[in-house]
């Protein structure tokens, strides 16, 4: 139910992996007043606040998330570019925006056509594909700070890097993003490019089972995570109902009934194998939410997650 605070709300079906326990408190806001008042309540109660968008890059603990979970999937809307500036709310689908802009003849988001996430999530992770990333066009964002203040923050202040930003360490809510686009080569050619990117994605990435895309970031150097995982013989490896995809070794599939523990244990095994074979410690691209997930991953302790 939108704009209503819910207790013990299930989260699994809101994520791409379709695993994880409930939120202690859950809100899917559509109105600024509701968001402001609920966040103020959480601050008074001393509750931690977790923001989720499309749920495509998350692994939620089987025990769930304590505090307040704010789900921004209904925080949608965008303003058609004037002079190339696009303003989009955090809950907008970044892939859908790529199509909308291509149809209008604006270039700069074509890379995002196969990215199944929201604008807000793309900002936080500095999402990218096909040699491009959001930071190439991001001018600024509007945020709600931990004190309830609305601020306009420039892209230069976000320390944007490969699949990272300093927003990952801040308790800010990304409300919208301002992007600088360029006049393209015409809608027909832009849409053809999007079709090419989509076809490439379908050829190279698995489908049919829940997954959240790439599990590990590509390390520096010429060896990609998927290539090393493949050469280490991990395709098809399975723990519980979590399986390394046969089509792409940097994907984990929920084959039906997987738990966060299954996925996390498999991730740790994959990382350990690559470290042993290649001397490289892969860093997760997946965002861990819930008590103990990151600690369990780093220390190989999976008794209660």
| CATH number for 87 | 3.30.465.10
Within this chain, do residues 181 and 281 fall inside the same structural domain, yes or no? no
Q: Is 214 among the catalytic positions?
A: yes
User: Looking at the 3D structure of the chain, how many domains does it have?
Assistant: 3
Q: Are residues 102 and 161 in the same domain?
A: yes
Q: Which of 202, 233, 255 is the last residue of a domain?
A: 202
The pLDDT value recorded for residue 291 is 79
pLDDT at 1: 76
Same domain for 265 and 154 = no
Residue 297 pLDDT:
78
285 and 265 belong to one structural domain: yes
Which residue out of 61, 110, 193, 285 is catalytically annotated? 285
172 and 259, same domain (yes or no): no
| pLDDT for residue 293 | 78
Helices (H), 46-186: 94-103, 119-125
End-to-end CA distance of the chain: 28
Model pLDDT, residue 298: 73
* CATH assignment of the domain containing 62: 3.30.43.10
Catalytic residue selected from 61, 107, 137, 163: 163
Domain annotation covers residue 152: yes
Per DSSP, the three-state class of 284 is strand
**Residue 214 is assigned to a structural domain of this protein:** no
List, run by run, the mean pLDDT of 10-residue segments along the chain (305 residues).
94 97 98 96 96 95 97 95 94 97 97 95 96 98 95 98 95 97 94 96 93 95 96 98 98 98 96 97 95 73 55
Q: Based on the fold, state whether residues 83 and 168 are members of the same structural domain.
A: yes
- Structural domain of 11: 6-71
- What residues are paired with 174 via a beta bridge? 143
Contact by Cβ (8 Å): 191, 185: no
Together in a domain, 67 and 147 = no
For residues 248 and 265, state if they share a domain.
yes
Active site residue 163: yes
Out of 53, 71, 89, pick the residue that ends a domain.
Answer: 71
Instruction: Choose one of 71, 88, 112: the last residue of a domain.
Output: 71
What pLDDT, on the 0 to 100 scale, is given for residue 302? 56
CA 64 to centroid of chain Cα atoms: 18
- Could you tell me if 85 and 176 lie in one domain? yes
- 285 as an active site residue: the answer is yes
Asked whether residue 255 is domain-assigned, the answer is: yes
By the 8 A CB rule, do 74 and 30 touch? Answer: yes
Asked if residue 191 and residue 91 are part of one domain, the reply reads: yes
How far apart are alpha carbons 165 and 126 in whole angstroms?
7
Whether 116 contacts 213, CB under 8 Å: yes
Query: Is 1 within a domain?
Result: no
Of 173, 194, 46, 181, give the one whose Cα is nearest residue 115. Answer: 194
* 183 and 87 fall within a common domain: yes
Nearest CA to 121 out of 134, 131, 104 is that of: 134
Catalytic residue of the set 118, 140, 176, 214: 214
């Amino acid at each position: 139910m939108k704009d209503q605070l819910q207790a013990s709300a299930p989260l699994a079906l809101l994520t791409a992996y379709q695993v994880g326990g409930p939120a202690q408190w859950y809100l899917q806001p559509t109105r600024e007043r509701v968001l402001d008042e609920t966040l103020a309540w959480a601050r008074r109660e001393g509750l931690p606040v977790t923001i989720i968008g499309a749920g495509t890059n998350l692994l939620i603990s089987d025990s769930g998330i304590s505090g307040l979970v704010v789900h921004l999937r209904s925080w949608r809307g965008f303003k058609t570019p004037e002079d190339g500036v696009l303003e989009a709310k955090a809950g907008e689908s970044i892939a859908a925006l790529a199509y909308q802009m291509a149809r209008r003849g604006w270039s700069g988001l074509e890379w995002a056509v196969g990215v199944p996430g929201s604008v807000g999530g793309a900002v936080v992770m500095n999402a990218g594909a096909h040699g491009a990333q959001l930071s190439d066009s991001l001018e600024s964002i509007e945020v709600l700070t931990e004190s309830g203040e609305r601020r306009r923050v420039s892209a230069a202040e976000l320390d944007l890097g490969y699949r990272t930003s300093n927003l990952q360490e801040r308790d800010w809510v990304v409300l919208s993003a301002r992007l600088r686009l360029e006049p393209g080569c015409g809608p027909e050619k832009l849409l053809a490019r999007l079709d090419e990117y989509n076809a490439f994605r379908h050829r190279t990435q698995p489908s049919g089972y829940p997954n959240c895309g790439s599990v590990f970031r590509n390390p520096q150097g010429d060896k990609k995570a998927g290539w090393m995982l493949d050469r280490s013989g991990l395709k098809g490896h399975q723990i519980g109902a979590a399986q390394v995809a046969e089509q792409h070794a940097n994907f984990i599939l929920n084959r039906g009934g997987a738990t966060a523990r299954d996925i996390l244990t498999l991730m740790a095994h994959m990382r350990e194998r690559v470290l042993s074979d290649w001397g490289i410690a892969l860093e997760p691209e997946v965002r861990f939410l819930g008590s103990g997930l990151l600690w369990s991953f780093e220390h190989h302790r999976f008794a209660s997650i």
